[in-house]
Amino acid sequence: MVSGRGDVSIVELIFYVPALALAVWIATRHGFGRSSGWLFLIILALIRIVGSSMELASDQSHNQSLTIGAAVLSNIGLNALISALLAILKRVNEGMSEFHGLKPRIFDLLHLPLLVAVALAAYGGSNSYQNGVFHTQSTSKFGIVIVAVVTVALTAITALTFMKLTHIPSGERRLLFAAAASILFIAVRLLYSLISVFASSKTFNSITGNVIVYAIMAVLMEFIAVALFLAAGILAPVIPRSAVQPGSKLTVGDRGRETGPGYHPVHELSPSRQPLTGTEAPYVAHGPEQQRYVPHHLEQQSYMR
């Protein structure tokens, strides 16, 4: 007979199996170079599918190793969810001009602590369940604190990005709205982990705690956040690879080349409209949706006239 934890695991499988397929489709649709947010959702879905399967197997066999494995994956999955939020905010800022969006390096630096937190969570979780008794390790505490700090930083970045909403292409705003809406649910999920690690409560415990509290504060909150991200991936415009090179930003002229819901396909920029480099002149903007690049010698001729 399946226990309450087993029932929750079955619900997770029902949710994450189609979520995995949808995340793969979204990542393929956007191109893997511009879809790191949904790549993390793929990772999260895989983690939850494997973890739920291990939980179900442990529920039947009472195997301690399976229980430990499920607990470790439960902690690591939260990092994948927050990494998805980070990647989506990075894409939104890349869609703004160089003078308004945050530098990609900021997001890269924020991702490094999350990788450290994954290692700490894996090590702490593997040593936390011994002889049927759960003992929180100090490494697990350090890991969840790092995750909390990064989440606070991403919340501040989201608020800062909202202050520059007018500089974000309309299609990319859907991503920002999804990110902002997900923060509340991610915060509740994070709160559950913090209480579980620091309070040593029988109610808040990812292995032996109250099933209803776990299902609402942990599982359901993740469901909502993942659903928001998947919906944003469906609605967000597809940006051609030729429009944005790795590490670069969308220019004002590139925004007209977005495709997707609410967008009309237009022709690619001709070679004459490509940005000039070197000693060639900077661009001269003509209206909000286009840029024209004028070489120095032509600019000088116009002054001579």
CA distance readout (Å), 209 to 65, 67, 128, 141, 215: 18, 13, 14, 18, 10
Antiparallel, parallel or unpaired: β 283-285 and 133-134: unpaired
Computed over its alpha carbons, how large is the radius of gyration of the chain? 23
Within its chain, how far is the Cα of 64 from the centroid? 32
C-alpha 202/C-alpha 182 separation (Å) is 28
Strand partners, 238: 259
Q: Which pLDDT belongs to residue 248?
A: 45
pLDDT of residue 131: 58
Q: What is the pLDDT of residue 102?
A: 79
Q: Is the whole-model pTM more than 0.85?
A: no
- Mean pLDDT, consecutive 10-residue segments, the chain of 305 residues? 80 96 91 72 95 86 78 88 93 76 84 91 72 69 93 95 85 90 96 87 77 92 96 82 46 41 39 42 41 40 43
pLDDT value at residue 190: 95
For 210, residues 6+ apart whose C-beta sits below 8 A from its C-beta are: 202, 203, 204
168 vs 34, 65, 237, 268, CA distance in Å? 16, 48, 13, 21
Long-range contacts of 131-138 (CB under 8 A, 24+ apart): 132/64, 134/205, 134/207, 134/208, 136/196, 136/197, 136/198, 136/200
CB-based burial label for 196 (10 Å; 0-12, 13-18, 19+): buried
What's the distance, CA 30 to chain centroid? 15
What pLDDT, on a 0 to 100 scale, did the predictor assign at position 101? 72
Tokens of 31: 């191109």
1: amino acid identity, one letter = M
> What are the tokens at 95?
């869609």
